[in-house]
Amino acid sequence: MIDVPFDPTEELIRIEARITGPLGHADVDLVLDTGASVTLITFDTLDKLGYSARDGDSISVITTAIGRESGYLLRLQELRTLGHAFTDVRVHAHDLAETSGIDGLLGLDVLRHFNYEIRSKEGLIRVGLA
Amino acid sequence: MDTTRMTWEDIKRAYPDEWVLLVDVDADPSIPRVRGGKVAGHSKSRKEVLASTWLPPGSGWALKYTGRPTGADLLPGQGHR
C-alpha cells in the first residue's frame, strides 16, 4: 500500500504520471477522472514524445456540450502513475484547454487495474499494490 | 534556459500561473513525483512552451503548470463530456 498525496483544496484531483515515448519520457499532471472510460493525453505532449497521428489505430470523438472534438487512439510504450506501470496502454490523443492546467485525464481503463481509496479531506490516494 | 536547479516550490514562486518545461528533473520515478529541475522554458501557453523548447532525443523532461487547474473548461469548447 502506498499513499499518494494531492492538494485537496484544488477543484480537481491532480496526480502525476510518467509517459514514455519514442523520444524520451515526460512527467506530466493528469486529473484522476472516474467518469472517463479511457485515459486521455494532449496532442502537444504526445507530439513532443515522438508520437503522431500515424501511430493512431482509430479515430476517436469526445462529445462536449457544444459539439464534438476529434482525436485518435494510440498505444503508449509505458504509462507510470500511482505507483504502477503499464505498458502498451491505449489512450485517447485529444486537445485540452490551455487554461485547464493539466495534460490529460487518468481514466477507468487504467484505474480498474488496482484498488485505490480517495481520502478527500486528507488529500491522499491510498493505492493497493499489485 | 535557467541552468539553476530549483525545487518545485521555488519554481512555483518564480513562474506563477505558467506552464514550465523542466529538464534535469529531480523526480521519484516510482510514483512518479517531481521534486524540481532546471527550467528550460516557461509560458502562459502549453503549446508555446512545448513548441519553443528543443529537447535532445532520449531525454527526460517534465511539463507542469504552476497554477491551480480548473475543471470549468477542460476541453477547448465548454463542458467535459
pLDDT tens digits along B41-69: 999 999 999 999 988 888 899 999 999 98
Residues 53-92 of A with CB under 8 A from B: 62-67, 69, 80-83
Instruction: Tell me the pTM.
Output: 0.91
Element (H, E) at A31: strand A24-32
A61 pLDDT above the threshold of 90 = no
> What residues of A are in contact with residue B32 (Cβ under 8 Å)?
16-18, 27, 80-81
Tell me what percent of the residues of chain B surpass a pLDDT of 70.
Answer: 84
- Mode of pairing for the β-strands spanning A40-42 and A104-106: antiparallel
Tell me what percent of the residues of chain A surpass a pLDDT of 70.
Answer: 95
Among the partner-chain residues A14, A27, A101, the one whose CB lies closest to the CB of B32 is A27
Tell me what percent of the residues of chain A surpass a pLDDT of 90.
Answer: 75
Nearest CA in chain B to A43: B47
**A14: phi then psi, degrees, rounded to nearest 5:** -95, 125
Among the partner-chain residues B22, B60, B76, the one whose CB lies closest to the CB of A97 is B76
Residue B4 CB burial class (10 angstroms; 0-12, 13-18, ≥19): exposed
Among B68, B2, B70, which residue's Cα sits nearest to residue B36?
B2
State the cell numbers at A15.
496526480
Reported ipTM: the value is 0.91
- Amino acid type, A42: T
> What residues of A are in contact with residue B46 (Cβ under 8 Å)?
42, 44, 98, 103
Question: Looking at residue B34, what is its pLDDT?
Answer: 96
Question: Looking at residue B78, what is its pLDDT?
Answer: 41
Q: Tell me whether residues A42 and B67 touch, CB distance under 8 A.
A: no
Across A58-72, A112-126, B56-70, the highest mean pLDDT is recorded for A112-126
**Would an 8 Å CB–CB cutoff place B52 in contact with chain A?**
no
A109 to each of A52, A62, A91, A113, how far by Cα in Å?
A: 22, 16, 9, 8
